[in-house]
Amino acid sequence: MGYTVLAMNLLTYPPRLFFKQLPIVVPFGLSVLANVITWGWLAWFFKPTNEPVFLHYNVLFGVDYIGDWHRVFLLPIVGVSILLINTLLGWLLASRDMVVAYILQIISLLSSSLLLLMALLLVEINT
């Protein structure tokens, strides 16, 4: 009677069972891998420096955003945030509709993949 929504979900759908589902584990694992590669790729190429780095490139105008070297790490921070939020929402909604949890994990994978591509291109315009 005094259960909150989170506590009720813990009782109805345990996290261990959530992460045993193949359509959850595969996109989650690939998203984590893409995020790790993004962090590593950016850390490998961007060292602390006083010189500004190119942060955004537009086909029409060329480089249109320049900033400090540490701002490139906003990409993987966004990727980890999307992954954590979508995984938490998927887990909370899994007891109602598992398809929503699957879709959220696919969205996390697509987001992480696009952010990895952006990191690759960011290194390209700075070398």
Angstrom distance (rounded) from CA 23 to CA 18: 10
In a domain, 36, yes or no: yes
Angstrom distance (rounded) from CA 12 to CA 7: 9
In a domain, 110, yes or no: yes
In a domain, 29, yes or no: yes
In a domain, 13, yes or no: no
The pLDDT score that the predictor gives to residue 5 is 55
The pLDDT score that the predictor gives to residue 115 is 97
Angstrom distance (rounded) from CA 8 to CA 47: 47
Residue 108 tokens, joined? 């996390």
In a domain, 6, yes or no: no
Number of separate domains in the chain: 1
The pLDDT score that the predictor gives to residue 121 is 93
pLDDT along the chain (127 residues), means of 10: 52 81 95 97 94 91 91 96 96 90 96 96 93
**What 3-state class would DSSP assign to 34?**
helix
Look up the domain containing 74 and give its range: 22-126
In a domain, 4, yes or no: no
Buried residues in 29-46 as b, exposed as e (16+ CB within 10 A): eebbebbeebbebbeebb
The pLDDT score that the predictor gives to residue 62 is 87
In a domain, 92, yes or no: yes
In a domain, 5, yes or no: no
